[in-house]
Amino acid sequence: MPSQDAEAGTLVTVRVPASSANLGPGFDVLAVALDLALVVHARPYDGHRVVAVGEGAGEVPDGDGNLIWRSVRAFCDVYGAEVPDVTLHCENHIPLARGLGSSSAAAVAGLVLARTLTGMSVADQDIIDIATQLEGHADNAAAAVLGGLVVAGPTGRARRFEPTRSLRPVVCIPPDRSSTDETRGLVPSEVSLETMVGTARRTALVLAGLAGVAAWDPATMVDEVHEPPRLRAMTATGDVIAAARAAGYGACLSGAGPTVLVLADSEDTEVEAMLTAAAGDEWRVEPLQWDRAGARSDHDASPAP
């Protein structure tokens, strides 16, 4: 087990980024990591299993049902390791149930924490696989672990790309929440061949544009499968997306919503004011950066590639 930081009493600190999945047409395939973070400090057990501040404080379970703690236990169950007797002090900056990968971040945080505390050499892809089993979203899990721009490939194998520096993300976060399970039920199970081909084309161009290997075309960041039924249930979100697209920006649902992801030129100084005017005072407009590092521990056990 890593040596204890005598001053802070912290054994391990893990930082995991938020993520935005789909990126328009890349349903369950594309995701990108954003620099909103869940930070978890593991300290010697003090009678409390989980102490949470920030987003979700007072709402998330503080005992054995907490997803971060369940993920610690799941890791130990999978690899036959002793469960560390620690208290988790959580500082969360990722809004819950808004389409920013808060659940995937929690699962990844627990798994990376357990990997570090136990000193086991476990590959990042294995962390992604377990997080997907726990939480259900391979795209978000891959972005949370690897950082940058990811493709959740066949059988969950993830591929990472470096996001272009010519674009920056801005998120518009509404006060209302959304259940991913409920909004997934709105997505049709069958689409036409024409829709399938158009979706594949736009997904390839979004990936190429965000990876900086092709010119960025905001018009490619449009979906015909999962967004239309979801936006019919989220009219305010649809209005913000429509305003951003009318202004020439790439915009889409972040994950299952209701947050909106907008991509602006890195030197753009007008996008925040435009989005604030479009969304209204109750929405939070957050200019962000790509998170390129992914999940990381201050006592990294140097996992296998």
- Please indicate, yes or no, whether residues 110 and 208 belong to a single structural domain of this protein: no
- Between CA 161 and CA 165 the distance in angstroms is 12
pLDDT tens, the chain, 305 aa long: 443 443 458 899 999 999 999 999 999 999 999 999 999 999 999 999 999 999 999 899 999 999 999 999 999 999 999 999 999 999 999 999 999 999 999 999 999 999 999 999 999 999 999 999 999 899 999 999 999 999 997 776 899 999 999 999 999 999 998 766 666 677 778 889 999 999 999 999 999 999 999 999 999 999 999 999 999 989 999 999 999 999 999 999 999 999 999 999 999 999 999 999 999 999 999 999 999 999 999 865 433 33
DSSP for 75-104, please give it: HHHHHTPPPP-EEEEEEE-S-TTSSS-HHH
Tell me how far CA of residue 300 lies from CA of 52, 98, 101, 117, 182, in angstroms. 23, 30, 23, 9, 37
**Residues 25 and 158 reside in one and the same domain:** yes
**Residue 152 falls inside a structural domain:** yes
Task: Give the pLDDT of residue 179.
Answer: 66
Do 95 and 208 lie in a common domain?
no
- Residue 3 located in a structural domain: no
pTM: 0.92
**Whether residue 150 is found in the same domain as residue 188:** no
Q: Is residue 218 part of a domain?
A: yes
Answer yes or no: is 118 within a domain. yes
Say if residue 153 is in the same domain as residue 172.
Answer: no
Q: pLDDT at position 303, please?
A: 39
- pLDDT for the residue numbered 298: 86
201 shares a domain with 104 = no
Same domain? For 98 and 155 the reply is: yes
59: CATH: 3.30.230.10
| Structural domain includes residue 268 | yes
Structural domain tally of the chain? 2
pLDDT computed for residue 145 by the predictor = 98
Residue 59 sits in the same domain as residue 76:
yes
- 32 and 144 in a single domain? The answer is yes
**Domain that residue 68 falls in:** 12-162+291-297
Say if residue 156 is in the same domain as residue 186. no
Contact present, 75 and 81 (Cβ < 8 Å) = yes
CA distance 115 to 14: 11
pLDDT at 305: 33
199 inside domain? yes
Statement to judge: residues 181 and 157 lie in one domain: no
Do 119 and 90 have their domain in common? yes
pLDDT score, position 243: 98
